Structure 1
């Protein structure tokens, strides 16, 4: 059966390979992909029936538009081949159509430091138009200059569960010290404050009314009701306002160990207007002494609806719909932070440090630091994390359209050089102030884009972007295009790239390059089918896209209109079914023949053996009871001690 299947598949492929030559080459809107776009691959370019299909078939393909380049009866698809092959076959270089992709810089402001960090240009160029020929890569050079004193917005997000009581006392005096340290590296800095506990439903928070009013262990200390996230102070440069608002805060309490920090991070990133984020470097300092709830944990409290990814702060700055939505997932938090261009700094205690270090690996451009028991080292921790983040330049892209691939090569100006793969980011570490680094971004399309796509490239943590306007090159720009060209059957066809596009084919059969707009393109021609006419030298001969011959005659040109008589072409019979059935029948017949021959030979042998047996039986010369082969089964035994004497008693 395996052999039979292989034979059938081979015959199917063999019988259909010729007729499917053109259909394998897709139209401009089809997805045409390549396993290996290497133009040096021998035999990688295959014949195609038009210049458009030719350049889409493989990036190594070129098209010869020279008139009469193909011999009589030779398919026009032979015009499509590698450049070297076409030149060797006599195609003049000026008649070669080999479109190549290109790029055009639309905006390229020079890199500059600006004034005290304001107005700096760190990313160049700013706008580029890239035209891609499918399968052919285009490389774009992107430059980045790290400017001194780049503005910073810092939002301090604090865990106010009861275990953070000692830390709150220190954070109340944090504002001034933090602003002073940040002003050492930038002249424009603002800070804001928010806090979180957990969702106010069981089993995360006690819903006993008295516990909702005062969740702390003793009545003697100040304690506020539990909440999910509270935005307290929008970003400001007033250190006293920071200290004043934080000084009014009190700890709260919840039941379980993990906190609702992910809810707070998501709302702080999504509610940009309420937080007051500027288009500068954005830092979110997250302090906690415990782990976090994530997507799925909400089911414990009867919450099944996933986080919707929208801002839900009420007029008091509280996350009002926390009991309705589940905690966000790690992936959602990472995506929202990246979209908002926010760099998180996780300042956590030593017991939870390993957990947040693993979390940081999943969030691009994030940092983790160990918080002391009372948060006394938080300012130095923030400064260390800021220096680490600002010295790391990570170039990433927005969502790619289907069929476009991207890869990065980082040139960091030193021994460090990172070759990225498709889908990765470009990254340089330890970039100094005033240092310029380069990224080589390679773009490649595998099929045509229906419309231009705008791709955004940006350095994480910085506000500037490079806009790449992506186009695809999916057609030839032949200069010989001519309507009713004399070369095409005495004016009865349209010339394009050296090939006639005839009205006869689309008018008679509804096929060919003009099929889509035949009524408009061939409005000057009346096409009629002629029933098996006698052919003579006046009949024109052409080939359809599926390589079948047809004939037409220019009959009349009166009144400015042309009458074309077309002889219906005889479609080649599809012998696939006959071949397959014939092979199956042949194999079955041979199998039956072998089975019959075997059975016949066995029958003959058995008959011969039986005949010999009967013959030998008839020649027996002894009786059945004296068969020499037969011996009696009786055995006589004599007792040697028996003498046969008379008994003495007698």
Structure 2
């Protein structure tokens, strides 16, 4: 019954479109049904005869299912392949460990046949087996500073085995030790110091060494106690040790260490110092990088002085491949160093040792419980253009992601599950990859292929009347015999009206098919490009190879080139898909670009006049003190030109809370309103281009009304005064002019030379008096 429910759930989750909203169909070059199915996950093809109109391209048959139905295509004539999920191997989960191979992961093999770009989801179940075997390799730093710790470790056998018995009856322990490379500057290479690198007074000191494998995995407590009891400290020069060398050899030398196939593999590293890493070997002239191979003879690492230390990434990869989980039992002084190391190695834990390592058993138990209760599902290298996302279903919550899924606080015997969503972004043949829980041997093999072909099952396709009996129908489209072309095979090669047919292949009376194709029956048949892809478009004007590049990659590697423009993936934008979509650097005071621009490539593209970085200030914009004066006047005092429709005229640009209580002052204004009153107010520009909040600072300052009597009296007095002033001015001008003439005459008189003489023409006057009564007698 459980298995039936499992397959039912698998079927429902695999049928995309059952409850998922249909998305669009982004078409590019569509010449056939196969082209349509390949172009997008939600593209469907209508094979119905006579679906396209006369002269309409067959690409119109390609659209979403809903659009095709809306255009009149019958539901049973629509081709849209669905994802197919087939469980190939599905063994039941084991309840407890026995001598047979336990099953902790279900299913074990699954086959997917997917639509390009269409995600499909299936469940993955996991259950921790009761009593699962544990292999613990105790790897100890035997530099001189660990002398006291070694004494206590020699007595650990009984308590360590007892602690493991509480976890499982099938426990094994091995032991190894390390110091550092026996070359300068890591170790004193003086012959005597190589033999006895410890203090002169310390007689129990073994020669310097890099890594030594002491005890193969065993379930015998006496062997552990005996072999560890024969160990003594050694020494080196610098503080960091060769921990990574030792862990790499313990991981890759599986047969010599004694790792079992079915077991939880633990490496417990105890140290009080940091570690050397890749590159440090150059200090000693060691240039050859670690080859991640086993180089152990008679228990000693033989390439210690010839190969550099491994990198952390190399070590992490080996731990993941070999299902090994490290526990770093370190002293307080290096706790932070190993915590940083733990973040780079999946399924690892860090615990703090006491000064003499007496708490190491409790530390191992608590670290093991944390590791085993945390289930992390991930995958190995994915095929190109395949994406996987994990969504955990956990009682105590979990972490989803596209590289791994995590469930925490998982108890023994508790079954958990993950929803695994797989998407193939390109068409591909059979390929496979492995999904596994970290630290667990069980795996799921996923075999993946894509469904990019149409199965139309055309009937009576030979010499169909729909194709003028000179062609067959393939998915609703005519495939013509040699010598015939056209949508319905209506054109024969060598047809007489060649000029009009060729004109139909010319864009704007230009070159026929842009010089990139042949005109066949009035339609362009495009050539291939140099790289093998095809030109496309009605006139072969498009190709998918000449788009903008970023970091020398077409469309930055984050999109597809479509007819000279980049079609970016969902999370990218920019002309070359060079930017990951983000608005983090565009946000200011809770808004994106203050509502005065758009965020592109995590930078604000401001509207005209506004300035970066957040489009706060505007150059060349009108003074808001003047543009908002009429609204301030009507909202605050119900006067002015907007007084009759103030709420409508000022609704969009001024916050109607207006006059009370905001304290952030951006701009203070002092303006005269329509009644010649002075208004003092301040404005704060809110998000958006023309949205303000205002506060009137004080009442209006208006002038007193005029005194009519004073104005009239003053006017008359002013006119009289002006008249008198004008008369005085005229009199003054006349006087000044006369004075000027007098002075001129005086000056000319002084310049004249006078001579006294009689005028010869002048005769003195003669007076004759006649008596009228005198008769002359």
Normalising by structure 1, we get a TM-score of 0.71
Distance 1:59 1:547 in 2: 32
Change over 3 Å in CA distance of 1:264–1:491 after alignment to 2:
farther
Give the structure 2 partner of residue 282 of structure 1.
265
Equivalence map 1:219-238=2 (5 Å): 220-238=202-220
Distance 1:231 1:112 in 2: 35
Question: SS of the residue aligned with 2:332?
Answer: coil
Give the structure 2 partner of residue 393 of structure 1.
375
Equivalence map 1:213-292=2 (5 Å): 213-218=195-200, 220-279=202-261, 280-292=263-275
| Residue 281 (structure 2) pairs with residue 298 (structure 1) | yes
Question: SS of the residue aligned with 1:504?
Answer: coil
Say what the alpha-carbon RMSD is for the aligned residues. 3.0
Structure 1 position 147, deviation (Å): 2.0
| Residue 466 (structure 2) pairs with residue 495 (structure 1) | no
| Residue 197 (structure 2) pairs with residue 199 (structure 1) | no
| Residue 454 (structure 2) pairs with residue 471 (structure 1) | no
Give the structure 2 partner of residue 435 of structure 1.
414
Change over 3 Å in CA distance of 1:308–1:492 after alignment to 2:
farther
Question: Which residue, out of 462, 465, 468, partners 2:440?
Answer: 462
Question: Which residue, out of 409, 421, 426, partners 2:401?
Answer: 421
Structure 1 position 463, deviation (Å): 1.4
Distance 1:106 1:65 in 2: 34
CA distances 1:128-167 after superposition (whole Å, capped 9, x unpaired): 1112211111111111112221111111111111111111
Distance 1:417 1:208 in 2: 55
Give the structure 1 partner of residue 353 of structure 2.
371
Give the structure 2 partner of residue 608 of structure 1.
none
Whether contact under 8 Å (1:262, 1:327) holds in the other structure is: yes
Distance 2:329 2:30 in 1: 63
Change over 3 Å in CA distance of 1:574–1:131 after alignment to 2:
closer
Structure 1 position 502, deviation (Å): 3.4
Question: SS of the residue aligned with 1:120?
Answer: coil
CA distances 1:242-274 after superposition (whole Å, capped 9, x unpaired): 111111222111000000000011111111121
Whether contact under 8 Å (2:24, 2:43) holds in the other structure is: no
Whether contact under 8 Å (1:306, 1:327) holds in the other structure is: yes
Whether contact under 8 Å (1:117, 1:147) holds in the other structure is: no
Distance 1:131 1:547 in 2: 38
Whether contact under 8 Å (1:47, 1:79) holds in the other structure is: no
Change over 3 Å in CA distance of 1:66–1:322 after alignment to 2:
same
Gaps of 5+ in 1: 1-37, 513-528, 536-540, 553-570, 576-650
Structure 1 position 572, deviation (Å): 6.3
Whether contact under 8 Å (1:118, 1:151) holds in the other structure is: no
Normalising by structure 2, we get a TM-score of 0.59
Change over 3 Å in CA distance of 1:485–1:375 after alignment to 2:
farther
Distance 1:302 1:225 in 2: 22
Q: Which moves more between the two structures, 182-191 or 103-112? A: 103-112
CA distances 1:271-325 after superposition (whole Å, capped 9, x unpaired): 11211211211000001110000111111111122211211112x1211112121
Change over 3 Å in CA distance of 1:573–1:149 after alignment to 2:
closer
Question: Which residue, out of 289, 292, 301, partners 1:309?
Answer: 292
Change over 3 Å in CA distance of 1:572–1:218 after alignment to 2:
closer
Structure 1 position 39, deviation (Å): 6.0
Change over 3 Å in CA distance of 1:181–1:99 after alignment to 2:
same
If you compute each CA radius of gyration, which structure gives the higher value, 1 or 2? Answer: 2
| Residue 427 (structure 2) pairs with residue 448 (structure 1) | yes
Question: Which residue, out of 363, 376, 393, partners 1:381?
Answer: 363
CA distances 1:390-435 after superposition (whole Å, capped 9, x unpaired): 1111111111111111111111124x243x2322x11111111221
CA distances 1:508-551 after superposition (whole Å, capped 9, x unpaired): 9xx99xxxxxxxxxxxxxxxx9666578xxxxx99x99895428
| Residue 38 (structure 2) pairs with residue 56 (structure 1) | yes
Distance 1:249 1:283 in 2: 21
Distance 2:223 2:474 in 1: 74
Question: Which residue, out of 279, 303, 321, partners 1:339?
Answer: 321
Change over 3 Å in CA distance of 1:354–1:90 after alignment to 2:
same
Q: Which moves more between the two structures, 338-347 or 64-73? A: 64-73
Whether contact under 8 Å (1:199, 1:323) holds in the other structure is: yes
Equivalence map 1:152-231=2 (5 Å): 152-218=134-200, 220-231=202-213
Whether contact under 8 Å (1:487, 1:495) holds in the other structure is: no
CA distances 1:81-133 after superposition (whole Å, capped 9, x unpaired): 11112112222211110001121111112222134596432211111111221
Whether contact under 8 Å (1:481, 1:497) holds in the other structure is: no
Distance 1:160 1:341 in 2: 26
Distance 1:426 1:117 in 2: 30
Give the structure 2 partner of residue 480 of structure 1.
458
CA distances 1:412-465 after superposition (whole Å, capped 9, x unpaired): 124x243x2322x1111111122111111111111122x322221111122111
Whether contact under 8 Å (1:458, 1:464) holds in the other structure is: yes
CA distances 1:180-218 after superposition (whole Å, capped 9, x unpaired): 210111111111111111111100011111111111121
Give the structure 2 partner of residue 99 of structure 1.
81
Question: SS of the residue aligned with 1:294?
Answer: coil
Structure 1 position 486, deviation (Å): 3.1
Change over 3 Å in CA distance of 1:504–1:163 after alignment to 2:
same
Question: Which residue, out of 349, 360, 369, partners 2:342?
Answer: 360
Whether contact under 8 Å (1:408, 1:439) holds in the other structure is: yes
Structure 1 position 69, deviation (Å): 2.1
Question: SS of the residue aligned with 1:351?
Answer: helix
Distance 2:164 2:352 in 1: 19
Distance 1:333 1:256 in 2: 22
Give the structure 1 partner of residue 56 of structure 2.
74
Change over 3 Å in CA distance of 1:312–1:574 after alignment to 2:
closer
Question: Which residue, out of 315, 323, 326, partners 2:305?
Answer: 323
Give the structure 1 partner of residue 640 of structure 2.
none
Distance 2:61 2:75 in 1: 13
Give the structure 2 partner of residue 632 of structure 1.
none
Question: SS of the residue aligned with 1:386?
Answer: helix
Distance 1:247 1:159 in 2: 15
Change over 3 Å in CA distance of 1:107–1:277 after alignment to 2:
same
Question: SS of the residue aligned with 1:448?
Answer: coil
Question: Which residue, out of 132, 140, 152, partners 2:114?
Answer: 132
Structure 1 position 54, deviation (Å): 0.5
Change over 3 Å in CA distance of 1:532–1:50 after alignment to 2:
closer
CA distances 1:469-500 after superposition (whole Å, capped 9, x unpaired): 11111111221177754357566545321223
Distance 1:282 1:503 in 2: 68
Change over 3 Å in CA distance of 1:485–1:272 after alignment to 2:
farther
Whether contact under 8 Å (1:46, 1:81) holds in the other structure is: no
Structure 1 position 467, deviation (Å): 1.2
Give the structure 1 partner of residue 636 of structure 2.
none
